[in-house]
Amino acid sequence: MENDSPVIYGLEFQTRALSAQTAETDIVRFLIGTQSLKFNNNQVHLVELNEETGSLKTQVFHHSIGEIWSLQASPTDPNVFITCYNTLNDDGSCQMKGALWKLPELKEYTNNIENLKNLAEIDTTPYGTDLKTIAYHPMDSTKAVSVVDNKFILWDLANGPQVTTSGTLASKGQPRFTNGKWNPHNGCNQFVTLNENNVRGWDFRNPSEASWTILSAHSQIIRDLDFNVNRQYILSTCGDDGYMKFWDIRSPSEPVLSRMEHSHWVWSIRINRFHDQLVLTSSSDSRVILCSIASISSESFGHIVSPEDDCTQNDYNCKKNKLEDGVVGRYEEHEDSVYAVEWSSADPWTFASLSYDGRLVLNKVPRKYKYQILL
């Protein structure tokens, strides 16, 4: 990707589901799911970036059972992933369902549309109709949690799949969850849910009531959340009020930091796993914004320079120039709502964004900020 210029890939159908191929740590690959209204036309695209040339290799697979609303790659097997999809019943009604898939073994990429192997159906219909996501355990691909209506259900994917634990949000007004994600800390015993503008943390060892709550975290609906994997208690959220906020879940009454960089709903937020001062957001304003949130990162004090380094006498407290809080990149290659953004699992400086009109854009962190972080 010479001069850090973006690489663009266009799909025939509308899209909103994107996942890095999480278990692949050597090659930059992303999976995309389509949302064609003709259910049997839907596809999964595997996109691979050649980092030296900036060229793309792609392979398309049939997902003819319905439009994909959510897609998540396995944390341990690069060829396995989960989709949440809307499908058409025999009586003409639509229904959200989940399934576990495996990519076929490919010797090379072709122009043919290949078939996926359906490993299992994840039947969430006994628990409700409004399936939002099925989220893999961060390290164990035999566990996943589905979020449907006002319930979250822990599944054992190795045996069935079968349900092992479930929890319910019991409240007036028939509340419904809008999203959920595992807390990667404390042995991954906690799952975090969003409903309306509230955040709740649930412990699977006692799922009958929330362990902690952040009520009215945003003034409007919260769309997404992400944990800082390097700082145990730091959680980020974003929503329809245009804000991204960062919370310390030990003292959830006020956010640690709030920023409003978008002019419309913020759909996705992702903290870089390797350099956690780098935070991506995407929005209905058609923009992707890369921010530095150095003040609450695990590297918040920068890199201390040793006495042998070249410092003047006055620099008795000498440090490298650290990255300050603020916007470090605005990306405007999209022309429609950007529903998803993801960091590559193979290269910490590469990220992908996906807009509803079927445009995938791959970008890199600007070099000057990369060097500022590394040096």
pLDDT at 174: 77
Q: What share of the chain is helix, strand, coil (3-state, %, to 5)?
A: 5, 45, 45
Of 119-123, 199-203, 336-340, 371-375, which gets the smallest average pLDDT?
A: 371-375
Q: What is the mean pLDDT of residues 158-176?
A: 89
Report the range of poorest mean pLDDT among 12-26, 64-78, 79-93. Answer: 79-93
Check residue 321 and give its pLDDT: 59
Count up the domains in the chain and report the number.
1
Whole-structure pTM over 0.85, yes or no? yes
Q: What local confidence, expressed as pLDDT, does residue 299 receive?
A: 78
Judge whether 306 lies within some domain. Answer: no
Per-residue pLDDT averaged across 97-120, rounded? 95
CA-wise closest residue to 165 among 146, 186, 183, 150: 146
Position 105 pLDDT exceeds 70: yes
Q: Looking at residues 149-174, what average pLDDT do you find?
A: 91
pLDDT of 304 over the 90 cut: no
Residue 112 maps to a domain: yes
Give the model's pLDDT for residue 31. 98
Which pLDDT score is estimated for 138? 95
Task: Classify residue 226: in a domain, yes or no.
Answer: yes
Containing structural domain, residue 215: 7-298+325-374
Query: Does some domain include residue 318?
Result: no
CA dist 170 to 151, 208, 291, Å? 9, 9, 37
What percent of the chain is modeled with pLDDT above 70?
93
User: What pLDDT, on a 0 to 100 scale, did the predictor assign at position 315?
Assistant: 41
**How much is the average pLDDT of 37-45?**
93
Q: How confident is the model at residue 192 (pLDDT cuts 50, 70, 90)?
A: very high
Single-letter residue type at 134: I
Residue 247 CA: distances (Å) to CA of 53, 102, 105, 227, 296? 40, 36, 42, 10, 10
pLDDT category at 317 given cuts 50, 70, 90 is very low
42 within domain boundaries: yes
pLDDT score of 300: 55
Residue 171 or 135, more confident: 135
Instruction: Give, for 367, the enclosing helix (H) or strand (E).
Output: helix 367-374
Report yes or no: 242 and 223 within 8 Å, Cβ to Cβ.
Answer: no
| pLDDT of 307 higher than 60 | no
Confidence of residue 88 (pLDDT cuts 50, 70, 90): confident
Among 168, 179, 184, which Cα is nearest to 249's? 184
Res 302: pLDDT: 46
Quick: pLDDT tens for 329-352: 999 999 999 999 999 999 999 999
- Given this model, what pLDDT does residue 322 score? 67
Separation in Å, CA 24 to CA 17, 20, 349: 18, 9, 15
| pLDDT of amino acid 279 | 98
Residue 294 is assigned to a structural domain of this protein:
yes
Give the position of tokens 């150095």.
294
What's the count of helices (H) and strands (E) in the chain, helices before strands?
1, 29
In a domain, 303, yes or no: no
Contact 83, 70 (CB under 8 A): yes
- How confident is the model over 68-81, as a mean pLDDT? 97
Q: What CATH number corresponds to the domain at position 83?
A: 2.130.10.10
Of 361 and 37, the structure prediction assigns the larger pLDDT to 361
Per residue in 123-158, pLDDT (tens digit) is: 999 999 999 999 999 999 999 999 999 999 999 999
- Whether residue 319 is contained in a domain is answered as no
With cut-offs at 50, 70 and 90, classify the pLDDT of residue 160.
confident
Q: Average pLDDT over the chain, rounded to whole? A: 91
